[in-house]
């Protein structure tokens, strides 16, 4: 991506929540240009302001702080628009590209005129619990406005490819060197060290996509197996999670800590329920588990079945009986060298660096094309005011 162009991202996810697709991509983007990651507002008793901090990766994380009493959608939109203008002025953001993770940001960004705009559609957000009612209509509008649409998996690509002229599938990728550390680590984290083997582990967000029923039944039927569950619990009540002596909820962990936990597992799990919220997901943890050298059992999530299940890299199981059979088969296998060789051959063609390079090249092509065709009347990187004049925000 052209170095002089700043990238401004609008996200429904917090930068410090779970290290996943946005962090991988935008950290790489920040190696060569400024990246501003604008989160959704935080409501509280503090004064109305924009908190801006720079991460270790060089990304500027922008958090709008709004008073509790400001709950009108119209008022919030007006404030967010003004705050965004102010951010641009204070940081001299003159030539910029927009990167959307949430269509909801269109409410306060439609007046801007970026040199390029991207919708990185990593999930079918309208299927998630508590999704805003106008999200589908705003997504349609976003499709009309952006230059490029990237999808987080093949299933999403197939669902979205006819909604825009330039849709590209970029499935979950991998930092092999980071998760490959798990193959040589031997020291257990303190909160996992006393858990017996065999250990079957999961890390990720624990929400409506998590298959609580499957975990409950398998844990009850095999009390000699230990289930290690790592991740934050959101949008569901913690008391609704299955409780057995052999299920260990260890809470959220930092990205840098995950290889140490993975190293001590015998099997890694993709415990996803099959529902509307998981219909189009492409779990980042699939290649992460494999890079750690761990056998994987997954429910029949489409983007896991294709290609991982079809290539016999991951076991697919939906029922307790299928799950137990798959786990017993793995635990009885003493030599995984042939499987691991196929895993490494597959992962050799996948990396976040490669994914970002391909995305960046596509964005550069858009910028170059639009610059050649730009109108002298409205310079790129300006805002169209209601009067129709061009003004730097």
pTM for this structure?
0.89
169 and 33 inside one domain: yes
**Which residue, 83, 86, 34, 80, is CA-closest to 55?**
34
Given this model, what pLDDT does residue 388 score? 35
For 254, other C-beta atoms within 10 Å of its C-beta total 9
163 and 230 inside one domain: no
Stretches in the chain below the pLDDT threshold 50: 376-377, 384-393
Residue 167 in any domain: the answer is: yes
Given this model, what pLDDT does residue 312 score? 97
192 and 113 inside one domain: no
> Around 49, how many Cα atoms within 13 Å sit in the side-chain half-sphere?
6
Given this model, what pLDDT does residue 72 score? 81
Q: Where are the beta strands (DSSP E) in the chain?
A: 6-10, 35-38, 42-44, 49-54, 59-67, 96-100, 112-113, 116-121, 148-151, 167-169, 199-203, 226-230, 247-251, 267-270, 296-298, 315-316, 382-384, 390-391
Given this model, what pLDDT does residue 294 score? 98
Residue 164 to residue 176: CA distance in whole angstroms: 32
Residue 246 to residue 227: CA distance in whole angstroms: 6
Handedness of CA 366, 371, 377, 383 (dihedral sign): positive
254 and 365 inside one domain: no
320 and 213 inside one domain: yes
Q: Are the C-beta atoms of residues 329 and 315 closer than 8 Å to each other?
A: yes
332 and 387 inside one domain: no
Q: How far is CA 78 from CA 107, 109, 148, 257, in A?
A: 9, 10, 27, 40
Q: At what angle do helices 21-29 and 352-373 cross, to 10 degrees?
A: 60
Given this model, what pLDDT does residue 46 score? 78
For 56, other C-beta atoms within 10 Å of its C-beta total 6
Residue 215 to residue 231: CA distance in whole angstroms: 15
Per-residue pLDDT tens over the stretch 42-83: 998 878 899 999 999 999 999 999 998 787 888 889 999 999
Give the count of domains, the chain. 2
Residue 15 in any domain: the answer is: yes
Residue 74 in any domain: the answer is: yes
User: Is residue 280 reached through a cis peptide bond, with omega within 30 degrees of 0 on the bond before it?
Assistant: no
Cα radius of gyration (the chain): 22
> Around 118, how many Cα atoms within 13 Å sit in the side-chain half-sphere?
25
Given this model, what pLDDT does residue 379 score? 55
Residue 295 in any domain: the answer is: yes
300 and 216 inside one domain: yes
207 and 248 inside one domain: yes
For residue 158, the enclosing domain spans 6-173+351-391
Residue indicated by tokens 């016999």: 312
Give me the DSSP letters along 258-287.
HHHHHHT-SEEEE-B--SGGGTT---THHH
Q: In this structure, what is the dihedral angle of CA atoms 71, 73, 79, 81, given to the nearest 10 degrees?
A: 160
Token representation of residue 337: 């060298």
122 and 214 inside one domain: no
* Three-class DSSP category at 154: helix
Q: At what angle do helices 212-221 and 320-331 cross, to 10 degrees?
A: 60
Residue 284 in any domain: the answer is: yes
Residue 49 in any domain: the answer is: yes
Given this model, what pLDDT does residue 70 score? 80
CATH code where residue 233 lies? 3.40.50.2000
Q: Are the C-beta atoms of residues 298 and 274 closer than 8 Å to each other?
A: no
Residue 1 in any domain: the answer is: no
For 362, other C-beta atoms within 10 Å of its C-beta total 19
203 and 82 inside one domain: no
Per-residue pLDDT tens over the stretch 6-45: 999 999 999 999 999 999 999 999 999 999 999 999 998 8
328 and 217 inside one domain: yes
217 and 256 inside one domain: yes
């Amino acid at each position: 991506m052209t170095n002089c162009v700043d990238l401004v991202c609008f996200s429904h996810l917090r930068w410090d929540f779970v290290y996943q697709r946005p962090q991988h991509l935008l950290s790489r983007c920040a190696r060569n240009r400024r990246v501003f990651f604008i989160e959704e507002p935080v409501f509280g008793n503090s004064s109305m302001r924009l908190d801006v901090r720079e991460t270790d990766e060089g990304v500027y994380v922008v958090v709008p702080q709004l008073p509790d009493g400001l709950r009108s959608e119209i008022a919030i939109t007006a404030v967010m628009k003004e705050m965004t203008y102010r951010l641009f002025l204070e940081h001299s953001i003159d030539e910029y590209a927009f990167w959307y993770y949430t269509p909801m940001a269109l409410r306060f960004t439609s007046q801007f005129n970026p040199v390029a705009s991207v919708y990185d559609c990593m999930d079918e957000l309208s299927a998630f619990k508590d999704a805003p009612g106008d999200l589908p209509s705003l997504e349609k509008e976003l499709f009309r406005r952006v230059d490029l649409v990237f999808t987080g998996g093949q299933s999403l690509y197939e669902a979205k490819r006819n909604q825009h002229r330039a849709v590209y599938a970029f499935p979950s990728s991998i930092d092999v060197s980071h998760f490959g550390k798990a193959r040589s680590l031997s020291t257990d984290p303190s909160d996992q060290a006393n858990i017996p083997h065999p250990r079957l582990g999961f890390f990720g967000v624990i929400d409506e996509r998590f298959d609580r029923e499957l975990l409950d039944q398998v844990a009850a039927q095999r009390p000699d197996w230990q289930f290690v569950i790592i991740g934050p619990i959101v949008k569901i009540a913690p008391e609704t999670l299955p409780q057995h002596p052999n299920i260990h909820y260890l809470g959220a962990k930092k990205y840098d800590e995950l290889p140490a936990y993975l190293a001590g597992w015998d099997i890694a799990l993709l415990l996803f329920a099959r529902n509307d919220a998981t219909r189009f997901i492409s779990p980042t943890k699939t290649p992460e588990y494999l890079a750690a050298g761990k056998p994987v059992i997954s429910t029949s999530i489409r983007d896991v079945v294709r290609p991982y299940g079809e290539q016999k890299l991951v076991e697919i199981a939906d029922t307790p009986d299928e799950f137990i059979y798959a786990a017993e088969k793995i635990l009885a296998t003493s030599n995984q060298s042939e499987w691991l060789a196929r895993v490494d051959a597959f992962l050799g063609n996948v990396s976040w660096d490669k994914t970002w390079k391909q995305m960046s090249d596509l964005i550069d092509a858009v910028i170059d094309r639009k610059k050649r065709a730009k109108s002298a009347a409205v310079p790129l990187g300006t805002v169209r005011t209601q009067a129709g004049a061009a003004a730097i925000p």
